[in-house]
Amino acid sequence: MIRQFDHQSILGNEKGMVLAVTLTLIAVLVLLGTTAVMTVTTDLKIAANYREGQKALYNAEAGVEQVIAYLRTNTVTYPTASTPTTTITVSCPTGYNFNTSVVMNYVAPNTYMFQMTGTGANNASKTIAAYIRRISGIPAGADGAVAMYGGGPAVAFKVGAGG
């Protein structure tokens, strides 16, 4: 026996529509959830890379300070126009990570440049180019003579306006 289908009854029948709407809604929610997880994961990686980059920068800055402290406390043969480079070796304190051997380059009279590279986790590294200027401890034109006249230093304060 062959059944005849009435097109009107098929079009008017809404059985199974809830299933189709539910499956569509679940698919949309799965896509939104997956997108949210991917976005959060990417943001976490970006934040971690930024943090390690900042650590590398701080390490490089610590290395620059270490070189400056070394230059202040040790006798160093500074580079000249005829010998344009000098290598300096400094120690790296515990907890820091920077290159311990730097090459100081001659730039101009009493002006020098060196580069310091600090590193962090995940292959993060930052390099700072530091320019330093060597200033003589004795002012130009000072002959070293000191003279004091009188019985001692006296300070007079004036109180009030006009004076």
Domain assignment of residue 121, yes or no = yes
How many domains is the chain partitioned into structurally?
Answer: 1
Q: Is 156 helix (H, G, I), strand (E, B) or coil?
A: coil
Structural domain of 95: 38-133
| Any domain includes 142 | no
Structure pTM? 0.66
pLDDT in tens, 42-100: 999 999 999 999 999 999 999 999 999 999 888 888 898 888 899 999 999 999 999 99
Name the token pair of 14: 């809404």
